[in-house]
Structure 1
Amino acid sequence: MGNQDRRDRLRDAAIEVLAGQGGRGLTHRAVDGAAGVPPGTAKNYFPTRQALLRAIAERCVELYREIPTPAPLGRDGLAGMMAALLSDVAGPGRNRMLAYLELQAEASRSPWLAPLVDSIAAADFATIEQAQRSAGLPVTRQRAAAVTLALHAAIPHLLAGGSSTLAAAGLDDLDRFARDLLESVYGPPE
């Protein structure tokens, strides 16, 4: 196994540990165990807790960018893209998103981490605004921000999975949620 492969394996294991055990459970020993590597390996690659958290943040960005997001074809395509992103959060991207939320909480206590976490969220705002433009909607900064904030607000509820909350928020049908969100912000389709 090459150095980069081992590094990625350790970063992926660190995401799993942070997602599963929270910030208090994130130790070099726990990452070694999750990665199935000899004790001390994670500390060799990421000597401090700060280095480990930075590695997790960077890996979360890489994994997020790997999610296919085709340019939406019209309003229906945009709604489908949004529903797919939310579905990823509740499915294969669950641990990445849990780790990201833990990073956000950690950033509130560790100013050095805030710029890394901020860059992830800022990129998300720009990407979702561009998707709305590509769909041909009459985008304003406020409308674009409202859509992005609504998607972000949905994430903790999807992760918690409370059926009553999901139903109350309309998150029990992600396609309908995305269509309704666009209609709330942009009005009914023409």
Structure 2
Amino acid sequence: MNPDRRNRLRDAAIAVLNESGGRGLTHRAVDAAAEVPSGTAKNYFPTRDALLGAVAGRCVELYSEVAERMAAAPAPRGREGLVALLRGLLENAAGPGRPRLLAYLELQSEAARKPWLSGILDPIGASDFAAFEHAQRAAGLPVTRARTRTLTLALHAALPHLLAEGPETLAAAGLDDLDAFARDLLASLYD
């Protein structure tokens, strides 16, 4: 099978999840989004579970690319450097990374009922703990496992609210000012 077409279909599935949610993820919708002949997605991914697994794998690949770029970037210097890093990650989540994150969250909902899917997606969330521990350490902060868990889980919890864009919730959570959110989060951990 053609690997370029396979990736095109997986990227189209991300677009479908972004636009229509999990209930909208059908072979026909993926064919339309990929602008390929009807039946192409079913030929590559014969069942809905195969399609879910393929798009989950693609999300892991895309996440790995982001993580590699983050690891190659200069380490944050000091608390303000870490604030800038966290703000940038949250801005990306609400901006260019939005389709991938919406797809990921839709897949996480499916994974709550399909443990095999959770196994595919697990590296995304699990690797964040080590990455954020490294970032805090690089910034010169006295990081602990508990602080790493709190920071990582707070950022994960912020994502659905950023994507839903409810103005009252964003204001209540402090997500309407991402610099202040990042500073407050670090202050709650380190002051």
- Structure 1 gaps of 5+ residues are none
Deviates more, 1:70-79 or 1:168-177: 70-79
Which structure 2 segments of 5+ residues have no match? none
* Bigger shift: residues 45-54 or 32-41: 45-54
- Report 1:82-101 matches (<5 A): 82-101=86-105
C-alpha distance in 1 between matches for 2:59 and 2:89: 15
- Matching of residues 48-127 of structure 1 within 5 Å: 48-67=47-66, 68-69=69-70, 70=73, 71-127=75-131
2:164 aligns to what? 160
C-alpha RMSD over aligned residues: 1.4
Question: Whole-Å Cα distance in 2 between the matches of residues 58 and 34 of structure 1?
Answer: 18
**Structure 2-normalised TM-score?**
0.92
Structure showing the higher helix proportion among its residues: 2
Cα drift, residue 4 of structure 1 = 2.3
Q: CA deviation at 1:182?
A: 0.7
- 1:28-64 CA-to-partner distances (Å, cap 9, x unmatched) read 1110000001111111222221221111111112222
1:19-34 map, 5 Å: 19-34=18-33
Aligned residues: 186
| Deviation per residue, 1:75-118 (Å, 9 max, x gap) | 21111111111111111111111111111110111111111222
Instruction: Work out the CA distance in 2 between the residues paired with 1:114 and 1:146.
Output: 22
Q: Matched residue of 1:66: which SS?
A: helix
How far apart, in 1, do the equivalents of 2:115 and 2:60 lie? Answer: 19
In percent, how many aligned pairs have the same letter?
A: 68
Cα distance between partner residues in 2 of 1:58 and 1:77 = 32
- 2:173 matched residue in structure 1: 169
TM-fit CA distance, 1:66:
2.7
| Residue equivalent to 1:47 | 46
